[in-house]
Structure 1
Amino acid sequence: MNTPQPSLGDQQEMSFIDHLEVLRWHIIRAAIAVVVFTLAAFLAKDFLFHDLILGPSRADFWTYRMFNQVGEWLGAPGLRMDRPTFDLQNRQMSGQLTMHISTSFVVGLSLAFPYTFWEIWRFIKPGLYPHERANSRGAVFFVSVLFVLGLLFGYFIAAPLSINFLASYQLDPTIENQIDLQSYISTLTTMSLSCALVFELPMIVFFLAKAGLVTPEIMRVYRKHAIVVILILAAIITPPDVTAQIIVTIPVILLYELSITIARVVGRNNTARLNAQLAENNHVA
């Protein structure tokens, strides 16, 4: 099943059909990884749902205990987070089975993301020039690390904050919160995956800077606009609580500042390479 990777020279001779055949095997291997992780998640039902998915619905969840301890240390009772007051319910005959399958797939897709991206990168890499391959070294590692960090941030910080607030919000004390299972899992997975994608900002800026579409000067000029957009996004994905919005906003702003540094380094390297090429051309001439 492992098809040999053609060199750059070989790829120049490859037809469109040959490229599709190579791409097909990369997609097949990535799909197999997703299926394997999905089956593993499906079989680990007790851990997947009792410990992982339903963790933020219990009082002993790590995030709630951490916020309570920090609130005690700082003498800030506003940081305290009590157990969300709601009951989960399934209202469809096949609801639990359907959620078991769909949630297992989402978890399998998330776990297989690093390998899937590596397969995509293996298809793209042979078509790059030597200096592009050298400048892109470690792309798979950093994309995977940022994805995992974003996923953990979403699961342990953003999602619990939203779940805790939304489940505790009441129009009237006589109204009980009986949350549908699908709604709860959708909130948890959406928050976690959204943060995982947002944390890819530095790598997105890296590739855009390599293509000459983004410069550090542009990012500095629009820094204030970016901060406003970040605040709006934080307000959308978090409850209308200032503390929660600040907790979510700070890492994203730091990622933006890191992206400016990355764009500056990429621009400096591009300029040095162009100067070296000009000097070599002048020397030859």
Structure 2
Amino acid sequence: MSQEESFVSHLVELRDRIIRSLVVVLLMFGVCFYFSGEIMKFLSQPLYQALPPGTKPIFTDQAGAFFTLTKVAFLTAVLASLPWILYQAWAFVAPGLYEHEKKFALPLIVSSVFFLLVGIGFAYTFVLPAAYKFFFAFASQTGADIMQDLQKYWDFTLAIFFGFGLTFEVPVVEMLLVKLGMVTPQQLREARRYVIVGAFVVAAVLTPPDVISQFMLAVPLILLYELGIWLAGFLKARSRNPEADADEDEGGPSSGSPVSTEKP
């Protein structure tokens, strides 16, 4: 097969896998849109818990409910379809990878999804309730009635989910940098003091301006950084290129002058 034919066949396979992914996303979107109201109620629990008793969130725009539920359904469908999408991506690139690269790529993909879900779950369980209690505590001091627009709540929630989902990918980034040879686990350990300061800076930007919320992000980031150092060293040892190891073994006595075994 010529290079041109091989390139075309790869494009056809890529198109087919993208179509398969889109079909699953659309099917999941239909299911999620049907249950979008229940999904939105579940995602709004931190808001309901923080609101004063007897009050409910509102929509200030007539079309706000439709667009908000559509966004919720679509993003939920993408998240639910993520394993299938990643499988299609893996099936496309895996034939061109060496065995030691497969040993590294598959754990990297699985861990990235895992840490993404952990970050979103952490934000939903701990950060959002603390943030809205902090906001409403200040609003109550003015004596005004507290009313929350659900559309604005979802925009804020999406930003929080996105921010925490990305920051919880710190171990994955460390593993990738070490595998690419850009840094070493020892260099990551030496940069620990700067990471601690940076974690509190990032927490101050992404969270409400109170000490509790900042610690809720800074401390997990520091722990994730330490976890990333350990995982990077572990995966680097498990996914070494066998050919490189063979070259290192051959670089011993065989690389110099031969050693005579004959007795004088």
Q: 1:143 to 1:259 in 2, by over 3 A?
A: same
* 1:258-269 mapped onto 2 (5 Å cutoff): 258-268=227-237
* 1:61-140 mapped onto 2 (5 Å cutoff): 83-85=50-52, 87-140=56-109
Aligned counterpart, 1:30: 21
SS in 2 for 1:110: helix
Aligned counterpart, 1:53: 43
1:145 deviates by: 2.1
1:266 deviates by: 4.0
In structure 2, stretches of 5+ residues that fail to align are 256-264
Cα deviation digits, residues 190-215 of structure 1 (max 9, x gap): 21232222222222222222111221
* 1:158-177 mapped onto 2 (5 Å cutoff): 158-170=127-139, 172-177=141-146
Which residue identity is paired with 2:32? A
1:37 deviates by: 2.2
Cα deviation digits, residues 115-162 of structure 1 (max 9, x gap): 222222222222211221133343443233222222211211122222
Return the alpha-carbon distance in structure 2 between the equivalents of residues 254 and 190 of structure 1. Answer: 23
**Match for residue 10 of structure 2 among 4, 13, 19:** 19
Aligned counterpart, 1:278: 248
Aligned counterpart, 2:117: 148
1:94 deviates by: 1.2
Contact 2:86 2:109 in 1 (8 A): yes
Return the alpha-carbon distance in structure 1 between the equivalents of residues 21 and 130 of structure 2. Answer: 33
Superposition RMSD in Å: 2.8
Contact 1:89 1:181 in 2 (8 A): yes
Which residue identity is paired with 1:276? A
Which residue identity is paired with 1:202? P
**Match for residue 197 of structure 1 among 149, 160, 166:** 166
Aligned counterpart, 1:5: none
Which residue identity is paired with 2:12? E
* 1:174-185 mapped onto 2 (5 Å cutoff): 174-185=143-154
* 1:218-257 mapped onto 2 (5 Å cutoff): 218-257=187-226
Return the alpha-carbon distance in structure 1 between the equivalents of residues 163 and 217 of structure 2. Answer: 12
Cα deviation digits, residues 45-89 of structure 1 (max 9, x gap): 342122x12211223xxxxxxxxxxxxxxxxxxxxxxx3347522
Instruction: Tell which structure's C-alpha radius of gyration is larger.
Output: 2
Return the alpha-carbon distance in structure 1 between the equivalents of residues 209 and 178 of structure 2. Answer: 35
Which residue identity is paired with 2:91? R
Return the alpha-carbon distance in structure 1 between the equivalents of residues 191 and 51 of structure 2. Answer: 39
Return the alpha-carbon distance in structure 2 between the equivalents of residues 271 and 116 of structure 1. Answer: 27
Which residue identity is paired with 1:84? L
Counting aligned pairs with the same residue, the percent is 27
Aligned counterpart, 1:187: 156
**Match for residue 180 of structure 2 among 204, 208, 211:** 211
Which residue identity is paired with 2:72? T
Aligned counterpart, 2:261: none
User: What is the TM-score when the length of structure 1 is the normalising length?
Assistant: 0.77
Give aligned pairs, total. 252
1:172 deviates by: 4.9
Cα deviation digits, residues 15-47 of structure 1 (max 9, x gap): 333222222222222222222222221111342
In structure 1, stretches of 5+ residues that fail to align are 1-9, 60-82
User: What is the TM-score when the length of structure 2 is the normalising length?
Assistant: 0.83
